[in-house]
């Protein structure tokens, strides 16, 4: 059995960033990732100001700035009405596909600690004894570490293996999304089109592209680009320029919070601890904020042998995740299909919030202030 200071289960965005932070401190860290090759696919694009600060601390902020684009404004629209504009020019949200950000983190980790990331290492068991945690790895030697971090995502097994329950936030919402060329002429703006049949959102991407996301009445599995284009055209009065063969991703926005974020020498972080709705898109940055807090807590545990810093981490980050989920629930409610009367009331609320002085609060919420 090999002994390490820290073992991180899961080499997604959260586990990779924490791996970089710990390797920078010259700690002996190993990141165990069950996939044999990195994941591609469409997931996060938005990197919020606190997330960018975490990337800076991990040494990849400069590269992310160079390759991403800045979203400086959010436009709220409804059929025939301009509801207002929320500006975040001072601390813009950056847009970059998640697989690119993760590639940069993997490269940084490889530069800091060439053997730290182990691909094809699936953790199948965990047990704590004598001041260390032993991890069983499928078809591999067991790994022992003085601290373990579960960064194994929404579907990972660590939370269950630790006997930690979780609580679902009521409310689920089906969506479909696809990327195409940006013909809006607003490469610095996110657009939120409120509609009684469900919101349509669009976000600029690097390389002159734009991501379109539509809320659906039911599951979007099997939807193709033509159907998504028609759905959006029916609400906006104009079809977005999505190619017929553009890949469409269907997803369900839902939220779930772990009942505890730590157990002895094991801490939970990222989606393993909190599944936050992608509507508002703050889950990845929230996981990076966990990493910043864990970096300090783990250093203290290793220096003192006491696990109290992990318990303090758990309380503080769980409270922060709850705040993020409340904000995301509000975002989801604003995008839900609605009756005429309810939609009119929603328009009035959004119009008030998108105007001074309230729009400063909206900008703070969109840019993750206070989390």
Ligand X SMILES: Cc1cc2nc3c(=O)[nH]c(=O)nc-3n(C[C@H](O)[C@H](O)[C@H](O)COP(=O)(O)OP(=O)(O)OC[C@H]3O[C@@H](n4cnc5c(N)ncnc54)[C@H](O)[C@@H]3O)c2cc1C
For residue 16, the minimal CB distance to ligand X (Å) is 7
Q: Which two tokens stand for residue 27?
A: 């700690």
Binding flag, residue 295, ligand X (CB under 6 A): no
Binding flag, residue 13, ligand X (CB under 6 A): yes
Q: Which two tokens stand for residue 8?
A: 């991180």
For residue 47, the minimal CB distance to ligand X (Å) is 7
Q: How many CA atoms lie within 13 A of 241 on its CB side?
A: 9
Residue 157's φ and ψ, nearest 5 degrees, are -90, -10
242-261 positions binding ligand X, by CB under 6 A = 251
Per-residue string for binding with ligand X, 141-180, x by CB under 6 A?
Answer: ----------xxx--xx-----------------------
56-115 positions binding ligand X, by CB under 6 A = 98
- Taking the least distance from each CB to ligand X, the nearer of 35 and 315 is 35
Applying CB under 6 A, what is the total number of residues that bind ligand X? 34
Task: Choose among 279, 362, 363, 357: nearest CA to 88.
Answer: 363
Q: Which two tokens stand for residue 354?
A: 């998108």
CB 298 within 8 A of CB 146: no
For residue 269, the minimal CB distance to ligand X (Å) is 7
> Among the candidate windows 29-37, 192-200, 336-344, 349-357, which touches ligand X by CB under 6 A?
29-37
Task: Choose among 127, 153, 124, 134: nearest CA to 268.
Answer: 153
CB 132 within 8 A of CB 146: yes
Binding flag, residue 190, ligand X (CB under 6 A): no
* Member of 282, 320, 329, 331 binding ligand X (CB under 6 A): 282
Task: Choose among 16, 19, 80, 65: nearest CA to 236.
Answer: 80
* Member of 278, 295, 325, 347 binding ligand X (CB under 6 A): 278
Question: Is the peptide bond prior to 357 cis by the omega test (within 30 degrees of 0)?
Answer: yes
* Positions in the binding site for ligand X (CB under 6 A): 9-15, 32-35, 43-46, 98, 122-123, 151-153, 156-157, 251, 270-272, 278, 281-285, 287
């Amino acid at each position: 059995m090999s002994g390490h200071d820290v073992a991180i289960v899961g080499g997604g965005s959260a586990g990779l960033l924490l791996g970089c932070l710990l390797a920078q401190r010259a700690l002996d860290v190993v990141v165990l990732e069950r996939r044999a090759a990195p994941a591609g696919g469409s997931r996060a694009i938005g990197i919020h100001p606190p997330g960018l600060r975490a990337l800076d601390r991990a040494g990849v902020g400069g590269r992310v700035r160079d390759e991403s684009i800045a979203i400086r404004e959010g436009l709220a629209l409804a059929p025939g009405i301009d509801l207002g504009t929320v500006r975040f020019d001072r601390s813009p949200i950056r847009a970059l596909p998640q697989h690119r950000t993760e590639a940069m983190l993997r490269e940084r980790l490889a530069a800091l600690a060439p053997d730290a990331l182990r691909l094809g290492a699936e953790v199948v068991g965990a047990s704590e004894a004598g001041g260390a945690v032993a991890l069983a790895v499928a078809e591999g030697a067991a790994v022992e570490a003085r601290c373990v971090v579960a960064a194994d995502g929404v579907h990972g097994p660590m939370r269950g293996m630790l006997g930690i329950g979780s609580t679902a936030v009521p409310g689920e919402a089906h969506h479909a999304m696809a990327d195409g060329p940006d013909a809006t002429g607003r490469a610095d703006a996110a657009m939120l089109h409120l509609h009684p049949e469900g919101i349509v959102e669009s976000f600029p991407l690097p390389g002159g592209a734009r991501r379109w996301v539509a809320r659906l009445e039911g599951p979007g599995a099997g939807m193709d680009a033509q159907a998504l284009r028609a759905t959006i055209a029916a609400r906006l009065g104009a079809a977005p320029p999505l190619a017929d063969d553009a890949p469409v991703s269907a997803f369900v926005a839902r939220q779930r919070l772990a009942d505890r974020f730590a157990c002895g020498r094991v801490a939970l972080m990222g989606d393993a601890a909190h599944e936050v709705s992608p509507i508002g898109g703050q889950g990845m940055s929230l996981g990076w904020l966990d990493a910043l807090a864990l970096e300090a807590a783990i250093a203290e545990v290793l220096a003192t042998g006491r696990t109290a810093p992990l318990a303090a981490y758990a309380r503080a980050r769980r409270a922060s995740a709850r705040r993020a989920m409340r904000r995301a629930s509000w975002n989801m409610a604003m995008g839900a299909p609605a009756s005429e009367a309810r939609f009119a009331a929603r328009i009035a609320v959004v119009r008030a919030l998108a105007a001074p002085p309230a729009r400063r609060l909206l900008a703070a919420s969109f840019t993750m202030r206070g989390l």
